[in-house]
């Protein structure tokens, strides 16, 4: 089995998927990070394809950066508390990694999903 990475964003304040939210994926090596891809969530709050497909997968440390502030301002939901939400994580085996973001104007949570 080859590994790959997916994500999605749920707007918990509105109880809806977060459409139109920009996400950047970085590969992290030590103190350096390399931008791999930038995508925008669709109407279902997901990217149209895996954010890191199987043919580009490599074990290592990654960072998903969600531009939450721009999204929240666009929805009229934020007074400016959240802006950029970085999620720094490791992928240690060839598997499906699903890293969602549950977002509200004043907080967020994440987990490794399936």
- According to CATH, the topology of domain 4-110 is Immunoglobulin-like (2.60.40)
pLDDT tens-digit map of 18-29 = 999 999 999 999
pLDDT tens-digit map of 28-73 = 999 999 999 999 999 999 999 999 999 999 999 999 999 999 999 9
Q: What is the pTM of this model?
A: 0.95
Sequence-distant (≥ 6) Cβ neighbours of residue 42 within 8 angstroms = 19, 48
For the chain, what's the residue count?
114
**Tokens at residue 25, please?**
């994926």
| Spatial separation of the C-alpha atoms in residues 94 and 73, rounded to whole Å | 37
């Amino acid at each position: 089995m080859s590994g790959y990475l997916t994500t999605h964003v749920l707007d918990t304040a509105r109880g809806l998927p977060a459409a139109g939210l920009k996400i950047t994926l970085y590969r992290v090596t030590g103190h350096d990070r390399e931008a791999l891809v930038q995508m925008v969530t669709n109407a279902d709050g997901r990217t149209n394809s895996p954010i890191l497909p199987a043919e580009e997968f490599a074990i290592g440390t990654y960072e998903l950066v969600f531009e939450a502030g721009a999204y929240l301002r666009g929805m009229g939901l934020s007074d400016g508390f959240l802006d950029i939400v970085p999620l720094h994580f490791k992928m240690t085996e060839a598997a499906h990694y699903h890293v969602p973001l549950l977002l509200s104007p004043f907080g967020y949570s994440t987990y490794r999903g399936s």
